[in-house]
A = this chain, B = another copy of it.
Amino acid sequence: MSTYIPPLEDMQFVIEQVLDAPASWRAQPAFAELDGDIAREVLEQAARFATEVLVPINGPGDKQGCRWSPEGVKTPDGYPAAWKQFVEGGWPALACDPEVGGQGLPNLLNAALFEMLCASNHGWTMYPGLLHGAYEAIKATAVGEIRERYLPKVVSGEWLATMNLTEPAAGSDLGLIRSRAEPLDPRPDGSIANGDRMAITGNKIFISGGDQDMTDNIVHLVLARLPDAPGGTKGLSLFLVPKFMPDGTRNNAWCDGIEHKMGIHGSATSQMRFERAEGWLLGEPHAGLAAMFLMMNAARLHVAMQGLGHLDAATQKAVRYAQERVQLRAPLRPADVPAGGGPDRIEWHPAMRRILLTLQAQSEGARVLAYWIGVLLDESEHHPDEARRRHCTNLVALLTPVAKAFLTDLGHRGADDALGVFGGYGYVHEYGVEQHVRDSRIAMIYEGTNEIQAIDLVMRKLLDSPRRSDALLAEIEAEAAACTADGLALEAGALTAQIATVRGALEALQAARAADPEAPLRVADDVLHGLGHTMLAWAWARSSRCAPRHASPAQRERKREVARFGLQWLLPAAQWRWQRVQDWALPLPWVRT
């Protein structure tokens, strides 16, 4: 019933005013020709594609789902045609390197594009969702003929790609991968080199787009072990295995079935069987996981955008429903509403107001955080100043697991709360909100579960290199100072208090670690969520400070109001997370039944 409207005005405010991305672009030669006008035009076109092409096939695609037969997977009606339009629009190449046929636009704009795609149709967006990661992996590793044959097709989107990591016994623990590869043209000295032809054998599961009817060929990237490879993750190599060989013969890479899932029914989650399938080594032997990690930050930011997309779409729909639906008398009404009459719009009822304001504050704050990571990611790659690149790389490494886990949590829980605003109608398919709940759940699991993100954050990104958190806290400190300068006492005070809280908790954890190595892992979830809430506070304060520059006068006051609501209602409710970090010594017993 209610549809998704891309939030172009807010995107523009965040990109141009809150983050001043145009200034960042001017500092980077790669984006010298880009400005706010061009960026706006790109996002407007993306919004048109999302609403005109993807929104109409979202609900029907969920109902119809993918259908498997031994001949292959049939995606829902309209999916292949939408893909054709996406390719014709040049969207897959948006953030690819111009040297290999890409448009060379910033990761930031790609992130905003995928926010809209996912908000419109998560199932369909699974197909291009993995493409950019495959592009990064192939670009970083493929050489010679392989590079020439596959990279341009992946940049243009003429062929789609898959990532084959998971096996039935190897999920979070990729070290348990058993798939193997054997050289087809072994050298006498037994050496193996990038680009060597291989026979790959193994079973992979949960492979998104493992088969589909949208592209003529599929480029499978597969993690497997070379003969005599060491055990664990250090023995994994990356291979490129096409569905069809260059001579047109069918390769021995088969989709044996697809999963029946809670959501993203339009995405073919495939069980793959490689039976001495022909492929080529990508990169050095045993360097497969490193190649995967190359694209990890971009891929995880991409998943964070899915969380944001669901959160924003569900929020919009709930707000519009609450504006239209009338039930019961509200205890208070806005000042400009005449007395008498009723029933009242449910948006006036305190319980609904609170849910809707929470959703709006989280959605708008999350956008600032996610887009900031996009800006930092671009600068980490393209900024001419090496110290700046290093600074940005550090911040990206720190913030990416937070964004992936925290925003996908917010997206799913937020969609669930939005459903409640619709009452019984929310539970019914045709209102479109329950699909957000179902679709959004998977983003908390794949691309590293949210629990794995928390471990990565605490162990590798914080405790092993405290300078990263210092850099982040310095950014928050700068924002607090700017708020103080602008007379925003509430914002400045909240940030200053957060800095002390975060610093104290991390110091406590650093000290705890020596005495109790398990301590950081017991409270990793609290550190991640605590930091997520701290970053929302930063985002609200920054948006409040930049509010006077909003293009819409009404939004100038509203952005202040949203920030105040977030800082007063939502931030205090999350402080137990940091207290829990201080309480790291609490015993956590074994599970018994």
Contacts and interface: CB of A to CB of B under 8 A. Distances in A.
Interface of A: 63, 166, 170-173, 175-176, 205-206, 259-263, 319, 322-323, 327-328, 331-332, 334, 343, 347-354, 356-357, 360, 412, 416, 419-420, 423-424, 426-430, 434, 437-438, 441-442, 444-446, 449-451, 454-455, 517-518, 521-522, 524-525, 554, 558, 561, 564-565, 568-569, 572-573, 575-576, 579-580, 583, 586-593
Nearest to A435: B262
Q: Which of A349, A449, A579, A591 has the most CB of B within 10 A?
A: A591
Best-buried of A170, A357, A420, A424 by chain B (most CB within 10 Å): A424
A583 to B, nearest CB: 8
Contacts of A260: 63, 428-430
A262 B427 contact: yes
A445 B428 contact: no
B590 A518 contact: no
A423 B166 CA distance: 11
Contact of A171 (B347, B424, B454, B517): B424
A522 B565 CA distance: 13
Tallying the copies of this chain within the complex gives: 2
Nearest to A450: B420
Nearest to A264: B427
Given A427-B445, A430-B260, A455 B351 contact: yes
A449 B429 contact: no
B579 A259 contact: no
A586 B568 contact: yes
A173 B327 contact: yes
28 contacts: A171-B327, A172-B328, A175-B328, A176-B327, A260-B430, A262-B428, A262-B429, A334-B590, A347-B590, A347-B591, A350-B522, A350-B524, A351-B524, A352-B451, A356-B591, A357-B589, A357-B591, A416-B441, A420-B450, A426-B445, A427-B441, A427-B442, A554-B592, A569-B580, A569-B588, A572-B576, A572-B580, A573-B580
Contacts of A429: 259-262
Contacts of A580: 569, 572-573
Given A206-B424, A580-B573, A591 B327 contact: no
Q: Nearest 7 A-B pairs (CB), nearest first?
A: A173-B327, A262-B434, A351-B451, A350-B521, A260-B429, A350-B522, A173-B328
A56 to B, nearest CB: 18
B438 A420 contact: no
A208 to B, nearest CB: 11
A503 B434 CA distance: 39
Contact of A420 (B261, B319, B427, B445): B445
Contacts of A573: 576, 580
Main secondary structure of the interface of A (DSSP, over half): helix
Given A172-B327, A429-B261, A576 B575 contact: yes
Nearest to A329: B173
A416 B429 CA distance: 19
A524 B430 CA distance: 31
A590 B354 CA distance: 9
A588 B569 CA distance: 9
Contact of A518 (B319, B331, B454): B331
Given A351-B455, A354-B525, 10 more contacts: A205-B424, A262-B438, A332-B518, A348-B590, A350-B524, A354-B522, A419-B441, A420-B444, A572-B580, A573-B580
A458 to B, nearest CB: 11
Contacts of A572: 576, 579-580, 583
Contacts of A517: 331
A112 to B, nearest CB: 19
Nearest to A320: B593
A416 to B, nearest CB: 7
A13 to B, nearest CB: 14
A60 to B, nearest CB: 12
Contact of A166 (B351, B424, B591): B424
Nearest to A592: B558
Contacts of A173: 327-328, 343
A416 B438 CA distance: 11
Contacts of A423: 171-172, 445, 449
A11 to B, nearest CB: 15
A325 to B, nearest CB: 8
Contacts of A319: 591, 593
A362 B366 CA distance: 30
A449 B420 contact: yes
A270 B525 CA distance: 43
Given A331-B521, A351-B454, A558-B592, A261 B427 contact: yes
A355 to B, nearest CB: 8
Contacts of A351: 451, 454-455, 521, 524-525
A591 B522 contact: no
A591 B346 CA distance: 11
A16 to B, nearest CB: 20
Nearest to A451: B351
Contacts of A588: 350, 353-354, 357, 565, 569
Given A350-B521, A357-B589, A428 B259 contact: yes
